[in-house]
Each structure stands twice: as C-alpha cells, then as structure tokens.
Amino acid sequence: RKEVEQDPGPFNVPEGATVAFNCTYSNSASQSFFWYRQDCRKEPKLLMSVYSSGNEDGRFTAQLNRASQYISLLIRDSKLSDSATYLCVVRRGGSYIPTFGRGTSLIVHP
C-alpha cells in the first residue's frame, strides 16, 4: 500500500458546485498534513495546513480523521480558477521528509 493515496480523478464539476477530495495515509505516526495545489506546468503552492480540529479558509475546508487515517478537502462554490491538481502531503512524526500524493485533478467548467 502506498504511503499516501489519492484518487487521480479528474473530477469534472460545474461552476458553483461543491466538491470533496479524500487522501488516505498508511502510517499512523503521521503528524503533519497539508494540501497543495499545482497548476499545469507550475510549481506546487501551499493551499492550507490541516489541523486536528479541522480548519477553514474561505471556500476551502480541510478535515483530519486520525482514526480512519485520511484527510479531506472540501471546496464550496467552485470557480473556474480552482481547476488544478490538488496534492495531499503527509509528514511522519520524527521525519523531516514529507510524502506527496500523486494528486487529484479538478476541472471546473462553465
């Protein structure tokens, strides 16, 4: 089983839709969690860190479920500009090396 797994998609949604992605991780010692977005032929950019209590930033909400070992990203009121690949990143406790998922592709259409 891969350390970090994501559904590659693509998720194809209309503008205004709500869409959610999950990311599962295999190592229960994982302690830090992040969502990055990566546009085509661009570098990854930090979207948000994921905290144990869950956190929200505008239209984006991230949740952590330690019992089931997954994190989620919810995007409300999707915009065309949200079209990108969303990368899940997990770092084990005691390790400084994060593990990146392969990403989930989102396409928002008019």
DSSP 80: G
Paired tokens of 49:
């860190």
Shortest CB 74 distance to another protein, Å: 19
Residue ranges in 50-79 that form contacts with another protein under rule CB under 8 A:
51
Q: Which is nearer to another protein, 46 or 80 (CB)?
A: 46
* Cβ–Cβ < 8 Å for 50, 22: no
Q: Is 67 left (phi over 0), alpha (psi -120 to 50) or beta?
A: alpha
Please report whether residue 31 would count as binding another protein according to CB under 8 A: yes
Contacts of 102 (CB under 8 A, 6+ apart): 6, 8
Footprint (CB under 8 A) of another protein, residues 3-22? none
Residue 66 tokens, joined: 């330690």
Q: Judged by CB, which is closer to another protein: 42, or 59? A: 42
Stretch that binds another protein, among 13-21, 22-30, 38-46, 72-80 (CB under 8 A): 38-46
Nearest CB to another protein, comparing residues 17 and 95? 95
